[in-house]
């Protein structure tokens, strides 16, 4: 609870509502030649930083920082949010035996249809207004393209596919076998014609330390 209250107090600079004209005027009012005269690099940087931060506080407002849990989808309207919360309440009542399955099913189906319609309407509006609202269009497209990739099933030494938490064990055994040499069951050899007549010469060989 205390952590939640602390998160609400976090405020960040909102540059979208910044008054850059005021920022420029306040910076120009500073007598830089007098302020930085006969000052070293560290002192000059400290003076500039102090002036910059003071001007920034006057011209750039602060707003509450929103986390992922505070951001709602663009298609989620207030009416749809109320219906979604109502569906969750009905689901809890159904688990307690206070509501029949048919009643919960109808409400869930209605809420699902409303969500689909809202998403379709949002995509239709973005497609129609894509020329005037390119930023919103490409932001929505980039969000839809984000895919969480996972490690595919791995094959163990016994030839079985492993798709559970044992993937880590399979990977560890594989990397361990690489450094211990358990996977290299073949012996080094020289590729080339085997029927060459070397005569009295000794055919070349490859030592294991040369591989």
* Rounded Cα distance, 147 and 191, in Å: 45
Residues 172-189: tens digit of each pLDDT: 777 777 666 554 444 444
* Rounded Cα distance, 201 and 205, in Å: 12
Q: Tell me the CA distances in angstroms from 121 to 108, 109, 137, one per residue in order.
A: 20, 18, 13
Run of H or E including 92: helix 78-95
User: Among residues of the chain, what percentage have pLDDT more than 70?
Assistant: 72
Q: What is the pLDDT of residue 202?
A: 53
Lowest mean pLDDT among 42-51, 122-131, 140-149, 153-162: 140-149
Lowest mean pLDDT among 109-123, 129-143, 189-203: 189-203
According to DSSP, the β-strands at 154-155 and 161-162 are antiparallel
Residues 78-101: tens digit of each pLDDT: 888 888 888 889 888 888 888 898
The pair of structure tokens assigned to 202 is 């000794």
Give me the sign of the Cα torsion angle 195, 200, 204, 207.
Answer: positive
Residue 190's pLDDT band (boundaries 50, 70, 90)?
very low
């Amino acid at each position: 609870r205390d952590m939640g209250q602390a998160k609400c107090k976090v405020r960040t600079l909102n540059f979208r509502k910044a008054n850059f004209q005021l920022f420029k005027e306040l910076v120009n009012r500073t007598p830089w030649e007098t302020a930085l005269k006969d000052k070293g690099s560290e002192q000059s940087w400290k003076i500039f930083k102090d002036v910059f931060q003071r001007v920034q506080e006057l011209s750039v407002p602060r707003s509450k920082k929103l986390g992922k849990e505070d951001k709602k989808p663009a298609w989620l309207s207030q009416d749809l949010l109320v219906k979604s919360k109502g569906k969750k309440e009905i689901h809890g009542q159904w688990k307690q035996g206070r509501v029949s399955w048919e009643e919960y099913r109808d409400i869930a189906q209605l809420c699902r249809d409303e969500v689909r319609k809202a998403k379709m309407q949002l995509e239709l509006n973005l497609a129609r207004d894509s020329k005037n609202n390119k930023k919103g269009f490409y932001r929505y497209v980039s969000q839809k393209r984000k895919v969480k990739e996972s490690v595919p099933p791995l094959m163990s030494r016994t030839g079985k596919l492993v798709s559970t938490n044992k993937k880590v064990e399979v990977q560890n055994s594989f990397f361990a076998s690489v450094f211990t040499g358990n996977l290299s069951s073949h012996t080094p050899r020289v590729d080339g014609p085997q029927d060459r007549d070397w005569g009295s010469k000794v055919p070349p060989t490859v030592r294991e330390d040369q591989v």
